[in-house]
Chain A
Amino acid sequence: MNPSNGRGVVSSVSSRVSRKSSETVPDQFPVGLRVMVVDDDPTCLMILEKMLRTCKYEVKRCSRAEEALSILRGNSNGYDVVISDVHMPDMDGFKLLEQVGLEMDLPVIMMSADDSKSVVMKGVTHGACDYLIKPVRIEALKNIWQHVVRKRKNEWKEVEQQSGSADDGQPKQSEDGDYSSSVNEGSWRNSKRRKDDDEDGEDRDDTSTLKKPRVVWSVELHQQFVGAVNQLGIDKAVPKKILELMNVPGLTRENVASHLQKYRLYLRRLSGVSQHQNNLGSPFMNPQDPGYGPLSTLNGIDLQTLAATGQLPAQSLATLQAAGLGRAAVAPKSRIPIPVVDQRNLFSFENPKLTFGDTQQQPQHLNNGGKQINLLHGIPTNMEPKQLVNLHHQGNSIPAVQSVHNGSYQPQSRVQQPMGNYNPVSHSSAMINFPLSSSAELRSNIYPLPNNPAKGGFPEDVTSEMKGSTPGFVPSYDIFNELNHQQKVHDWELQNVGLTFNATQQANNSIDVVGTSIVASPHQAFPSSNQGSGLPRNASVVHANNNTNAISMGQHHMSNNNFYHENNPVRVKLETPLFPEQFGQDDLMSALLKQQQGGIVPAENDFDFDGYSIDNIPV
């Protein structure tokens, strides 16, 4: 063993420091590769750790996924690659995979004794860069460094392309330089690399030596990002502009570029799901941008919503909710301090729900071009909150719109629960779901607030807002909607349908009426499965809550059934495929609302969707 590699503890700081300063290590690569290995089986963990140490890597072992995530979050640049088991008791390995990929952009290698094609495929669709069959041989571990290098090179290239296309290559240099301060040393280096040939070589080496510091896409940051993307429109969202809109010091275009790529994948995944579902909902989806199709709606709307809200940190959601609830026109208020936890939950993939739609049902859905969907999914926490926020943010104008939509959806969200239509927000899973379901849910979620007259009080505000702003569909929710749309076009459909239902449903139960499924189907993944179900988005919202409340709200969620509630049993599937995954939105909304209102209206179902839902939604 190489003593310098340290046992157990990754002396990332020191190693990083030395690396940063450069370049002294390059030729030793991959010696010192910082690996985080996660496996609940202590025997395997012991063997793996020993093997990795034998390969001269620095190893940190965790037997629980949650533990690994918190370590990774606390030390964003401390690791170069993550190896995780698939079957773990506290969190599904795929969920961890998605979260790590989105938040920290680290290569993740999955491993399992299960070598069935479906599981391996799941790894691929969730973004694993490799899949090892247990028992793992040391030879397999010797080459894992290639994934790190590959990822870096791809990011670098991506950045380059972005800069090229966005025409921000040149100017970036100086900007990057400015930004290099704390966040992105690596990024800075990368961008610089682009500029200077001399540095290029070096930087590349650095990259390969894993020096690039990573940016952690926190919920807030992600919300900002989504907001910016929405504002620009998914088609026009180029890293440079996004970066400008976000205006985050220290963030480089490369960071944004790579994140954007992931976000797109995520949306694509979501839309894929929603597309299936969205057959119905297409009208909804693109109120704004027919061009997008499922995705676009989301993107456009969501983005707008997001944009409107600015960064939608988890708190924004709260704000939104608040807005929805009562403030209707509330501008992104100050970010209600919604328990960050919730938001986090939503986004933080805590809920293995990430699979928003994917996992459960339709992995394909997600992949369908729904860019938007991807947005939701991909964006681990950030997205969701933002979206929710947007949605909620009635104030932002879009939200209002959404409310209109949401009206349709709202039923769902409202139904969901007092939380605030956006249940999705409420639970962390919601967030994740968001991506998939989120889109769908988002839409709904967003609305839920405003529309949820049932919810709780704001309905009045909301509705008004919504109506006004939404072009018919409450674009604000875009995110949700889009998600919904995209992912599940059906969702939307359902939503609207659901909305009507919701009205009747009043409080969680109402949703049940709709599809009954909404509630439960946390996993229902968006796939618009709702299509017919017209389940109110609430379901999705519910989903959001699913994790937290969703399930309880479940009923509400039903409306959003499209949202997949990870937590909720796939009820949604049954009828309202809408929410299965989406619950996120509803949940979020609910969660948000709840937070704000403290339990707003459990009976939101009443939203009065009747009015909105169907009419407003440009189905």
Chain B
Amino acid sequence: MDRNQSHRQVATMKQSLFDQGYLDHEQFNQLEELQDDANPNFVEEVVTLYYRDSARLVHSIEQALEKSPIDFNKLDSYMHQFRGSSSSIGAKKVKAECSLFREYCRAGNGEGCMRTFQQVKKEYAALRKKLETFFQLARQAGPVDRARRPK
């Protein structure tokens, strides 16, 4: 059935996102479990909110990196927020890069920070694309049929 097929597709894609380390399966599953009839697109809404809100953080970090001398404390603070946000949606790779960034930050290594930040942005953008595809599939497949553990 088409429906089944689409659902399977969704499931497969999700699994691959987990396997490739883009998403943390535990956290992502938690979000999915929160989805219910009242909020059928909860996960998508959260992710959308994340990308919208974190955009300004990314921007702030970029600006802070351009300053001279670099204010590492501020950077660390921004990155702490960004990392927290990313981890709440299960963005695994993004979170890992953020942690690395913070290490460079604490060491006062501006170069390292800039390099790592490029990586952060790369992962951030890559994940966004994947999730967009994923949500498209999910919407096509229909609201039902999300594997949910009993609450």
Chain A interface (Cβ within 8 Å of chain B)? 1, 40-44, 46-47, 50-51, 54, 87, 112-114, 134-138
In the assembled complex, 23 residue pairs joining A and B whose CB atoms fall closer than 8 Å, in A order, are: A1-B36, A41-B53, A41-B81, A41-B88, A42-B49, A43-B50, A43-B53, A46-B45, A46-B49, A47-B46, A47-B89, A50-B34, A54-B34, A87-B80, A87-B81, A113-B84, A113-B87, A134-B87, A134-B88, A135-B30, A135-B87, A135-B88, A138-B34
Known: A43-B89, A51-B34. A87 touches B46 (CB 8 A): no
Given A54-B151, A87-B81, A134-B87, are A43 and B36 also a contact pair (CB < 8 Å)?
A: no
Please give the distance in Å from A2's CB to the nearest CB on chain B. 10
A114 touches B80 (CB 8 A): yes
Contacting residues, chain A, for B89 (C-beta < 8 A)? 43, 47
For residue A165, give the distance in angstroms from its CB to the closest CB of chain B: 46
A42-B82 Cα distance, complex, nearest whole Å: 11
Q: B145 to chain A: closest CB distance in Å?
A: 20
- A41 with B30, Cβ < 8 A, contacts A1-B36, A46-B46 known: no
- Alpha-carbon distance A558/B87, docked complex (angstroms): 44
A43→B49 CA distance, assembly (Å): 6
Does B135 interact with chain A (Cβ within 8 Å)? Answer: no
In the docked arrangement, what's the CA distance between A51 and B46, Å?
Answer: 12
CB distance A43 to B46 under 8 Å? yes
Q: Most B CB atoms within 10 A — which of A46, A54, A136, A138?
A: A46
Interface residues of B in 77-101 (CB under 8 A from A): 77, 80-81, 83-85, 87-90
A247 vs B34: C-alpha distance in the bound complex, in angstroms? 50
Q: Which of A1, A41, A112 contacts B85 (CB 8 A)?
A: A41
Does B58 touch A at the CB level, under 8 Å?
no
Residues of A within 8 Å of B1, CB to CB, are none
User: Could you tell me the distance in whole angstroms from the C-beta of B38 to the nearest C-beta in chain A?
Assistant: 5
Contact A43 B85 (CB under 8 A): yes
Q: Which residues of A contact B87 (CB under 8 A)?
A: 113, 134-135
Residues of chain B with a CB closer than 8 A to A136's CB: 88
**Contact residue among A42, A112, A134, A137 (Cβ-Cβ distance under 8 Å from B30):** A137
What is the CA–CA distance of A107 and B124 in the complex, to the nearest angstrom? 37
The answer to whether A47 and B80 touch across the interface, beta carbons within 8 angstroms, is no
Interface residues on B, range: 20 to 34
Q: Is B39's CB within 8 Å of the partner chain A?
A: yes
For B103, list chain A residues within 8 Å (CB): none
- By beta carbon, the residue of chain A nearest B24 is A135
Is there contact, CB below 8 Å, between A47 and B88?
A: yes
Closest to B51 in A: A43
Other A-B pairs, 20, CB within 8 Å; known A47-B34, A47-B46, A47-B88: A40-B81, A41-B88, A42-B49, A43-B46, A43-B49, A43-B53, A43-B54, A43-B85, A43-B88, A43-B89, A44-B84, A46-B45, A47-B89, A87-B81, A112-B84, A114-B80, A135-B87, A135-B88, A137-B30, A138-B34
CA distance A114 to B102 in the complex (A): 12
Q: Residue on A with the closest CB to B45? A: A46
Provide the residues of chain B in CB contact with A134, threshold 8 Å.
84, 87-88
Q: For residue A41, which residues in chain B have a CB less than 8 angstroms away from its CB?
A: 53, 81, 84-85, 88
Give Cα distance in the complex from A87 to B81, angstroms.
Answer: 8
A302 to chain B minimum Cβ distance, whole angstroms, is 37
Q: How far is the CB of B118 from chain A (nearest CB, A)?
A: 22
Tell me, yes or no, whether B18 is within 8 Å of chain A by CB: no
- Say how far A31's CB is from chain B's closest CB, in angstroms: 14
Whether A44 contacts B151 in the complex (CB less than 8 A), given A51-B34, A87-B77, A113-B83, comes out as no
**Chain B nearest Cβ from A9, distance in angstroms:** 16
B70: Cβ under 8 A from any A Cβ: no
Given contacts A87-B80, A113-B84, contact A50 B39 (CB under 8 A): yes
Q: When the two chains form their complex, are residues B38 and A113 in contact, meaning their CB atoms are under 8 A apart?
A: no
Q: Are B38 and A1 in contact (CB under 8 A)?
A: yes
CB B22 to nearest CB in A, in angstroms, measures 16
In the bound complex, CA of A46 to CA of B90 (Å):
14
